[in-house]
Amino acid sequence: MDGKDTGEALALARDLLTGVDRRYEHVAAAARTAERIARVVPEQDRDVLVTAATLHDIGYAPALRRTGFHPLDGADHLKGLGWPLRVVGLVAHHSGARFLARAHGVEDLLDVYPDEGGPVADALLFCDMTTAPDGRTVSFAERVRDAHGRHREAPEAARRARAEREPFLRAAVARVQARLGPAR
């Protein structure tokens, strides 16, 4: 990936997210899950998956805050640092960001970046959605329950957007589980 590798991704995430709640622990755990499930994507895509899992939440770093929509703030920063557009696009659109972007008024800004969909995006979503914000490995059902609790006080539009996103998340997690097969 043009000199940008998984090690550099981890160092960047550590620099930006250490001390930001437990976000570094979350992305480090998501990256470990990515390594564990890497067989669900073609071999040539495995480094991209681990890199995107490591970087997907860097937009939570206070220093990067521009729009306040973390997938976009993270993607903008990575683009500025010269990360491959594919990684930037995966971060911008991770975990159904599109569903939440409208409530944040940033749909057009997000659309600047490619939304590749497919097995790598599904696998990234799985890594995020089976890792709690503090880095614990959890089931998708637990993650969703926890998110409902955390966003209980969110504005109506944001809660509705999350509800609309949920079936999309569930379907992607099911696709990854099917690709993993019984030996997961």
CB nearer Fe ion, residue 145 or residue 181: 145
CA-closest candidate to residue 30, choices 94, 112, 114? 94
Q: How many residues bind Fe ion (CB under 5 A)?
A: 2
The answer to whether 60 and 77 have CB atoms below 8 angstroms apart is no
CB nearer Fe ion, residue 45 or residue 128: 128
CA-closest candidate to residue 140, choices 14, 11, 33? 33
* Contacts (Cβ under 8 Å, ≥6 apart) of 131: 26, 29, 30, 33, 137, 138, 143
The least CB distance from residue 27 to Fe ion, in Å, is 7
Paired tokens of 79 = 């683009």
| Interaction of residue 76 with Fe ion, rule CB under 5 A | no
| Interface residue with Fe ion, options 128, 143, 162, 169 (CB under 5 A) | 128
How far is the C-alpha of 97 from the C-alpha of 53, rounded, in Å? Answer: 14
The least CB distance from residue 173 to Fe ion, in Å, is 14
| Interface residue with Fe ion, options 57, 73, 76, 122 (CB under 5 A) | 57
Binding map of Fe ion across residues 16-55, x = CB under 5 A, - = no contact: ----------------------------------------
**Which residues of this chain interact with Fe ion, rule CB under 5 A?**
57, 128
